[in-house]
């Protein structure tokens, strides 16, 4: 039996929905080359969708998801699948002028990949759509989580509206897209980049604990109260005015796809439930570690009960 949802915890996720069309191939093709013997798979993806599902599964709280799809069959399938995790999709935008976002992915036997994304409806989610979101969402929620697979000005509008409503705001600046506008810095409480994104945003090349601390300190000067730099198997760094290095949890990894989104969703869920930043980051690391033990993005996201069992096993 699943753990009952906490009726007092609620979060808003602002982001993207993609359909991932993947082919596993013996090797990645060179320009003009056709590679045979591929294995095809279709799955729901997009950083926004991944993160929204992670919040719902790991926090057992109410999740409002603001996103856009086309008026097409892939979009309808995506929304039906997201409903299975209990997401509030009442404000999902259906756009007849665009297709649902699609990612074409080729992965070789070594795990190297080539990815091309047609953003479709994701690129047409506007600040006006954010302003039209129900006021009740912001009145009842504790956290807003956003990523950068939608237009920058739309992200800024969501963060600003949440900031004005006294929600904690979390930005995962992924995928890396260069400098952020000041409006985003001013409205972000918690910034969660990986090493590449932290390097690009701070101007400090992150390659070890010392450089991660320097980058986090620089990023905190822009406005965020906390900076969390995720470093994969090296764990993460939390900056709260001082640098705290948190080692990763040891597991036997299978696929790291979706681990970063799991981390962000788990962090948002913990903050929404009132946990402090250190406890929240530690819990996010445990959830992300578990996600790497399974293949895929959304299929790999654990539920809260699984993280609790993982924690109990480590304590024994």
Starting at the earlier edge strand, list the strands of the sheet with 190-191: 62-66, 10-14, 143-147, 168-172, 190-191, 226-230, 236-239, 243-246
Task: Determine, yes or no, domain membership for 4.
Answer: no
Query: For the chain, which residues score pLDDT lower than 70?
Result: 1-7, 111, 315-316
Residue 82: give the domain boundaries: 10-315
Q: Does 261 qualify as catalytic in the annotation?
A: yes
Task: Determine, yes or no, domain membership for 1.
Answer: no
Q: Is the peptide bond before 175 cis (omega within 30 degrees of 0)?
A: yes
Task: Determine, yes or no, domain membership for 5.
Answer: no
Task: Determine, yes or no, domain membership for 2.
Answer: no
Q: Residue 25's CB: how many other CB atoms inside 10 A?
A: 18
Q: How far apart are CA 12 and CA 167, in angstroms?
A: 10
Task: Determine, yes or no, domain membership for 87.
Answer: yes
Longest dimension (CA), the chain: 56
**pLDDT of amino acid 3:** 40
Q: Residue 269's CB: how many other CB atoms inside 10 A?
A: 29
**Catalytic option among 20, 85, 261, 282:** 261
User: Mind listing the pLDDT tens digit for each residue in 7-46?
Assistant: 579 999 999 999 989 898 999 999 999 999 999 988 899 9
pTM of the model: 0.92
Strands 190-191 and 226-230: parallel
**pLDDT of amino acid 1:** 27
**pLDDT of amino acid 157:** 98
Task: Determine, yes or no, domain membership for 309.
Answer: yes
Task: Determine, yes or no, domain membership for 151.
Answer: yes
Residue 279 CA from chain centroid, whole number: 19
Give DSSP secondary structure letters for 196-260.
HHHHHHHSS---SHHHHHHHHHHHHTTS-SEEEEE-GGG-EEEESSSEEEEPPPP---S--TTHH
Q: How far apart are CA 274 and CA 155, in angstroms?
A: 24
CATH number assigned to the domain comprising residue 250 = 3.40.1190.20
Q: How far apart are CA 162 and CA 184, in angstroms?
A: 12
> Domain count of the chain?
1
Task: Determine, yes or no, domain membership for 77.
Answer: yes
**pLDDT of amino acid 258:** 86
């Amino acid at each position: 039996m699943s753990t009952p949802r906490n009726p007092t915890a609620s979060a808003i996720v602002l982001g993207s929905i993609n359909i991932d069309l993947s082919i596993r191939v013996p090797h990645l093709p060179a320009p003009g080359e056709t590679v045979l013997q591929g294995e095809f798979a279709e799955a729901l993806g997009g950083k926004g969708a991944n993160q929204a599902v992670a919040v719902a599964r790991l926090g057992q709280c109410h999740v409002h998801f603001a996103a856009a799809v086309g008026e097409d069959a892939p979009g309808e399938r995506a929304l039906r699948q997201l409903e299975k995790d209990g997401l509030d999709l009442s404000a999902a935008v259906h756009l007849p002028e665009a297709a649902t976002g699609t990612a074409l992915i080729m992965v070789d036997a070594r795990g190297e990949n080539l990815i091309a994304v047609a953003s479709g409806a994701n690129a047409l989610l506007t600040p006006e759509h954010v302003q039209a979101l129900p006021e009740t969402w912001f009145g009842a929620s504790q956290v807003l989580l956003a990523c950068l697979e939608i237009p920058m000005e739309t992200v800024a509008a969501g963060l600003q509206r949440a900031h004005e409503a006294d929600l904690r705001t979390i930005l995962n600046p992924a995928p890396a897209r260069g400098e952020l506008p000041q409006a985003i810095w001013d409205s972000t409480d918690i910034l969660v980049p990986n090493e590449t994104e932290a390097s690009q945003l701070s101007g400090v090349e992150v390659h070890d604990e010392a450089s991660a601390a320097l980058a986090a300190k620089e990023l905190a000067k822009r406005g965020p109260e906390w900076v969390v730099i995720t470093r994969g198997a090296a764990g993460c760094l939390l900056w709260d005015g001082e640098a705290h290095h948190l080692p990763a949890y040891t597991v036997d990894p299978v696929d790291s796809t979706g681990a970063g989104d799991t981390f962000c969703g788990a962090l948002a869920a913990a903050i929404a439930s009132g946990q402090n930043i250190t406890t929240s980051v530690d819990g996010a690391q445990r959830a992300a570690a578990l996600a790497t033990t399974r293949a895929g993005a959304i299929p790999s996201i654990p539920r809260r009960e699984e993280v609790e069992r993982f924690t109990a096993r480590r304590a024994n």
